Structure 1
Amino acid sequence: MKIATWNINGVKARIENLCQWLKDSSPDIVCLQEIKSVDDGFPRFEIEALGYHVETHGQKGFNGVAILSKQRPDEVTRGLPGDDTDEQARFIEAVFSLPNDSALRVCCLYLPNGNPIETEKYTYKLAWMERLAGFAAERLLLEEPLILAGDYNVIPEPHDCFDPKVWANDALFLPQTRQSFRRLENLGFTDAVRATTDATKLYSFWDYQAGAWQKNNGIRIDHLMLSPEAADRLSSAAIEKHVRAWEKPSDHVPVVAHFDFEG
């Protein structure tokens, strides 16, 4: 099974690229972030024509997440628990049946950026990450394959960006941000990409400005975090960076992982 995450940066603007990538890459489950569309406005017809089921948690103009899947999910939950006043569409969870009569949980998440750091935006980011850790700890008790996939807006380590000095005072790289991310790892979650390689210059995001793509001035902020039951089934992971060179690209590229859930 191939599972992917991709911040699409506007699904309507990127629908041709998305459909081409779905044909080329043929993932079984895709987590999309920043769809920037209400549920009714999502271009589901084009995606359903390719054989995918569509579940969305949209928001007008910004944010918004979606899960596309070749198999219809058994359950879908929208919104990260823990704050009934949070109206930002940043989280959706789907449960799928596996061949061995067990369940696979896939959560698509779009963590807040958190900049500027001296504003309430950074406070919101840290609070959101605290809620995510609490949610993840509860889900681990189910002892099921669980994948937390999405744009984390977190650069985990210095080698996950082209120049740590550039990001030293950014919400994506502050020590408190990275500490919150490590809390997930300390719960028992595995970073799919880092489980398969320790290579440097592996990035999933390149800014549109200052020739970042051409210079490979990127950062790795899109992650698939795996519960022990999912990590045991991981066979490979990759960043499909060629998509960034397409016309009208997102500033992010898909991150994918392959799993063997048979038997």
Structure 2
Amino acid sequence: MTESIRIAAWNVNSLKVRLPHVKRWLEEQEAAKKPIDALCLQELKMTDDKFPHQELEAAGYISLAAGQKTYNGVAILVRRAALAPIATDLETTFLKPLRNIPGYADEQQRILAATICFKGMQPIRLVSAYFPNGQSPDSEKFIYKLGWLTALHSWLETELKDSARFALLGDFNIAPTDADVHDPKAWEGQNLVSPPEREAFQGLLDLGLYDSFRLFEQAPKTYSWWDYRMMGFRRNAGMRIDHILLSDALKANCLSSIIDKVPRTWEQPSDHAPVIAEIKA
């Protein structure tokens, strides 16, 4: 009987480069008896035919991916040992798979959703999401970001009606409050923290989602992303832009929500750290 599962999100900033880190992290979590049962990856930067399904299978994970050349890309990895007996192959592991926001024309691969049947638990709908960066509030990329956020909100309204047990995981490219920014004054009005972006984040919460990290008391100045430049990580000049949002049913069963900064200390790391939430059965 499964007592709990741990679900995680990690922007790896190129899976080709970071695959050894992903495998190492999963192995270390397993060795510490804190296995990651589902891992949502963002910024794969590879096409579907290049995705390392076999290597991940050898590591104990079955995977689903939505990739593209050079940019973006999302995936969901599920630990075979955590799956219910009915999940025997790709089709029975990833139920009702969905790629991209329905009805929203977009060549960029940013959304991958599937319903997972974990051992001893009711199914959970997982969404791996890589929100647009936006570049700057006066750019066309920012206009795209706001349009994408509007489409996401509309789609999630429907999703949440169909799935009471729901988790949205990924790199949101939004720091929701000043507490999530190392220097709020310096960043005021800029991309990632602008009022329209924060309003969009709040709009997701208004749908009935909860920021799992803020369900618990957290140490101040805890971030998930640090710029490679100007010794950002060493100075802890970061932001919390990677999130796990949970529906009410999962919020009630959430045991913890943390950011694991250890992989950010490794050689040639992603600029993001994994975020983890533990959900009891």
TM-score, normalised relative to structure 1: 0.95
**2:177 corresponding residue in structure 1:** 157
Superimposed CA distance per residue, residues 219-241 of structure 1 (whole angstroms, 9 cap, x where no aligned partner) = 00000001111111111111001
Worse-matched range after superposition: 69-78 or 144-153: 69-78
Structure 1: how far apart are the matches of 2:249 and 2:155? 17
Q: TM-score, normalised by structure 2?
A: 0.89
Does 2:76 align with 1:67? yes
1:13 alignment partner, SS class:
helix
Aligned to 2:90: none
1:32 aligns with 2:41: yes
**Aligned partner letter, 1:183:** G
Match of 1:124 in 2: 144
Task: Report how many aligned residue pairs link the two structures.
Answer: 260
TM-aligned CA distance change 1:144 to 1:98, over 3 Å: farther
Please give the alpha-carbon distance, in whole angstroms, between the structure 2 residues aligned to 1:42 and 1:143.
Answer: 28
Aligned counterpart, 1:180? 200
> Which stretch of structure 1 is more off in the superposition, 249-258 or 135-144?
135-144
**Residue ranges of structure 2 left out of the alignment (5+ in a row):** 30-34, 84-92
- State the match for 1:15 in structure 2: 19
Name the aligned partner's letter for residue 252 of structure 1. H
CA offset at residue 46 of structure 1?
Answer: 1.7
Does structure 2 retain, via aligned residues, the 8 Å contact 1:143–1:229? no
**Contact 1:6–1:33 (CA under 8 A) maintained in structure 2:** yes
2:220 corresponds to: 200
Residue matched to 2:234: 214
- CA shift at 1:169, angstroms? 3.0
The corresponding residue for 1:253 is 273
Q: Do structure 1's residue 146 and structure 2's residue 151 form an aligned pair?
A: no
> Which residue number corresponds to residue 101 of structure 2?
80
**Aligned residue for 1:92?**
112
1:171 to 1:185, Cα distance in 2 relative to 1, 3 A: same
Q: What does residue 52 of structure 2 align with?
A: 43
When structure 1 is superposed on structure 2, of 90-99 and 216-225 the one drifting more is 90-99
Instruction: Give the aligned partner of residue 130 of structure 2.
Output: 110
Contact 2:44 2:72 in 1 (8 A): yes
Deviation at 1:167, TM superposition (A): 1.6
Of all paired residues, the percent bearing the same amino acid is 39
Contact map agreement 2:45 2:73 (CA 8 A) in 1: yes
Residue aligned with 1:117, SS: coil
Q: Give deviations 1:16-61, integer Å, cap 9, x for gaps.
A: 1111001112200000000000011112222110110010000100
Displacement after TM superposition at 1:11 (Å) = 0.3
1:143 to 1:9, Cα distance in 2 relative to 1, 3 A: closer
Moved more, 86-95 or 43-52: 43-52
Q: What is the CA–CA distance in structure 2 between the aligned matches of 1:243 and 1:189, rounded to whole Å?
A: 28
- Asked whether the 8 Å contact 2:224–2:272 carries over to 1, the reply is yes
Any conservation in 1 of the 2:67–2:74 contact (CA below 8 Å)?
Answer: yes
How many Å apart are 1:78 and its aligned residue? Answer: 0.7
Q: Is the 8 A contact 2:12 2:44 kept in 1?
A: yes
How far the C-alpha of 1:178 sits from its partner, in A, is 0.2
Tell me how far 1:198 sits from its aligned partner.
4.4
Aligned to 2:248: 228
Structure 1 residue 74: deviation in Å? 2.4
> 1-side partners of 2:252 and 2:140: how far apart?
39
Q: Secondary structure at the match of 1:213?
A: coil
**Structure 1 residues 57 and 143, CA, compared in 2 at 3 Å: closer, same or farther?**
closer
- CA RMSD in angstroms, aligned pairs only: 1.3
Distance 2:75 2:237 in 1: 28
1:53 match: 62
Deviation at 1:199, TM superposition (A): 3.2
Separation in structure 2 between the aligned mates of residue 98 and residue 148 of structure 1, nearest angstrom: 17
3-state secondary structure, aligned to 2:150:
helix
